[in-house]
Amino acid sequence: MAAKVSTKLMRVLKHDDAKFREEWQAVCDRRDDSVLDVEQDVAKIIATVRKGGDEALLQCIQKYDGPDLTAVEVTPEEWDEGCDRVDSADRAAIGKAAMRVREFHRKRIPSSWEMREEGGGYMGQRVRPLARVGIYVPGGKAVYPSSVVMNAIPASVVEVPEIVMATPPEEDGSIRPEVLMAARVAGVHRVFKMGGAHAVAALAYGTESVPRVDKITGPGSVWVATAKKQVFGQVGIDSEAGPTEVCIVADRSATPAWIAADLISQAEHEELAQAVLITHVKGLAARVQEQITRQLKTLDRAAIAKKSLKARGALVQTKSLEQSIQLSEEYAAEHLVLAVEEPEQISKEIQNAGAIFMGHYTPVAVGDYMAGPSHVLPTGGTSRFFSPLSVDDFLKRTSFMKFEPPKLRELGADIVRLANVEGFTGHGTSVELRLAKIRRARREREAARDLEL
């Protein structure tokens, strides 16, 4: 009976069914159509804050976040008081996570470089941190000190001069103490009590109180994601983050209870989260379903997880492990769990995944909180072309080059030829005029040498 009830919770897709490809495509196509519903409203909010500054921002905070504030920035006294209220064990855990994330990102920081060529060619790249970045930390249904750590520390590692953070306030106008503690250990310089599209607008365009930033990173609601998309171009963004997701590939060595817990751990985030199991092992899907039903009975966020699993979850039955891996590549997961006997070898074949969790003792929670790599990952299949948040997101590169006359003489004719091929004769002329001077100077030197002889 339990298996029958749980089967109704999550849909089951079988690779040999006639409609499998159609059903599988529906799983892979996890676009959130609600984005279309809020685009106009988001555009109005952005325009209002951009024009009205602090006054409009405070009105939006009262309307959308709840509290009636007179000032938007967390004061030093509020910050200190919040940190003092954090339990000592929680403080230690946040500090340990921050230390490990910082250590991971310090391993490979891109540096400036240059090269010199014979004949006077000099070129390279200068790598510098962005001047000011904005970190968005979601609130609402949960508290996310881990998002502070994962977003801010890569910026801190490359010494961004000013890191500002926006996060929705509580109903009393405060910020959760754990979030303030995480901001302190992660290197955040200023914290602002604002969430949603109005927070993104304030960061993108600035107000009397909120400084304009160069880039905004961090996940959020559909309102936040839509706002980031709309201000892109005026300000940089990390990516268009969507609902969280996990894809688990399992073989006979997997434990059904653990797989169920991993699926639930993503589904409990929000109703739009997606959890997918792909396995060639007969009977594993049914056993996982039974465990899901059992574990949901004691889950604090069971209502959210049930909606997610029923509406967007899927259990996929394949014929082989190779087939399971191929489907995972098509899915291009944010979190890919390899619950298999030889995860390291299989992981080398994976092209499309934001983060890979190898083996039976590496649940997604390890990466969410303590491993070290950022948990800000590409969602919705964008791991085919996007990467996890890293120090690279907080750096900019400037190319530089210098040609001395001998080098321009060496390459100038080819530059002119390529310019003419493209129809840009003005480009060619800019080189030809310089080549003419180089040739004159050379003739003059030769003439002077002949006179000396």
Place of tokens 């990466």: 367
- Of 280, 334, 360, 375, catalytic: 334
**Which tokens is 173 given?**
């106008």
CA pair distance 210, 316, nearest whole angstrom: 48
- Of 105, 269, 280, 335, catalytic: 335
**Cα-Cα-Cα-Cα dihedral sign, residues 169, 78, 186, 266:** negative
Place of tokens 């030809």: 432
CA pair distance 336, 43, nearest whole angstrom: 35
Contacts of 270 (CB under 8 A, 6+ apart): 141, 243, 244, 304, 308
Contacts of 11 (CB under 8 A, 6+ apart): 23, 313, 314, 315
Does the active-site annotation cover 446? no
Does the active-site annotation cover 335? yes
Give catalytic residues, as residue numbers: 334-335
